[in-house]
Amino acid sequence: MIKSEYYTQENHGPYEIYNLGDFNLEEGDVITNCKLAYVTFGELNEVKDNAILIPTWFSGTSKNMETYIGSERALNPEKYFIIIVNQLGNGLSSSPHNMPAPLNMANFPKVRISDDVRAQHKLVTEKFGIYELALVVGGSMGAQQTYEWAVRYPDMVKRAAPIAGTAKNTPHDFLYTQTLIEAITSDPKWNGGNYQSCTEVRDGLKRHAKLWSVMGMSTEFYKQEAWRLFNVNSLDEFISGFFEPLFCEMDPNALICKAWKWQRGDVSRMTGGDLKEALGRIKAKVFVMPIDTDMFFPPRDCEDEHKLIPNSEFRVIKSICGHIGLFGAEGTDYSDQIDKHLSELLAMPVIAEEVR
């Protein structure tokens, strides 16, 4: 364990911890005393059918996703019981920096999207006794988890809204993520994942941040100097004042853990590699919601998957911010689109489960 000034209740909370006990991972390892950090909003109704689950994205924690909910929003805590759950390895849930030896730091086991979703399933069913989710919604790696939920637990997920992500990661996206990994691991201070503080790996983290600035936005974003949306006054300040601070406080092992997981997100692992069969299992009403300028989950890739889902609609979100549109820097120009689609989706009737 190393001390982190970043992954704290002050920065990201208040959040709760649920201890899953020893949790078996798909790759064969076990996380002892596996902990999920989560936060809830609203009240679970008596029949327990008003729950919404929101998993987190690569750089994010539950704090990011809180910006998606509100009493005037589609994700309304006055109507729904909303659970935001932090993915394994994100710094709040069990993660390289907060695990005791021998699973700490570079020895933290390989985690898959499937592990996250099975862990979240335990939280939802064991802790809350919920067997029906009105909606699972998440962006980027949160979309990967959303797809995994809809395929793995088709009777349980009534609606699903994967935003800016895919059910099966593309080879191109795998390569991009590999460059993110190598930006960090090529820093001599990375030292195989064994360092005393993330600040030692600052050079690598800065290169990692720079790669995000290239693939994470759009060419039009920079031409129109839309970095002003991020309250900075120059391109240089956008890098040094937004992207570098965003990543440089994070734990490099946490980023590597999540990047490995991201690279391998693939619901067709449940069907021997048959993506059509996997997506065909989904019973949820699905809104596939790519961002139009997203360079690593481009609409075209999302549309191909949308066509394989039985009850799906293709809803493209407009943003000049590329994948980073997810951060909502465009204010209501972004959130109004999200809310419009999610409101519509939530208003759609679903077939009640006969047998539970």
- Binding residues for its own copies, rule: CB under 8 A, are 170-173, 175-176, 178-179, 182-183, 186-188, 203, 207, 210-211, 213-215, 217-223, 235, 239, 295-296, 298, 300-301
Nearer to its own copies, 4 or 213 (CB): 213
Q: Which of 94, 95, 140, 218 is catalytic?
A: 140
Q: Is 208 annotated as catalytic?
A: no
Q: DSSP states of 109-173 as a string?
A: PP--HHHHHHHHHHIIIIIT----BSEEEEETHHHHHHHHHHHHSTTTBSEEEEES--SB--HHH
Tell the smallest beta-carbon distance from residue 225 to its own copies (Å): 8
Q: Which is nearer to its own copies, 55 or 216 (CB)?
A: 216
Is position 140 annotated as part of the catalytic site?
A: yes
**Residue 35: CB minimum distance to its own copies, A:** 34
Of the two residues 120 and 169, which places its CB atom closer to its own copies in the complex? 169
335 is catalytic: no
Any bridge partners for residue 75, and if so which?
69
CB of 175 to its own copies, least distance (A): 5
Q: What is the arrangement of strands in the sheet containing 51-55, beginning at the earlier edge strand?
A: 16-19, 35-41, 81-85, 51-55, 135-139, 159-163, 285-288, 312-314
Rounded distance between C-alpha atoms, residue 87 and residue 93, angstroms: 6
Q: Distances from the Cα of 230 to the Cαs of 97, 164, 227, 233, 243, in angstroms?
A: 29, 20, 5, 9, 10
> Which of the residues 116, 187, 294, 301 is marked catalytic?
294
Q: How far is the CB of 329 from its own copies (least distance, A)?
A: 17
Catalytic residue among 12, 208, 306, 323: 323
Residue closer to its own copies (CB basis): 218 or 312? 218
Catalytic residues: 140, 294, 323
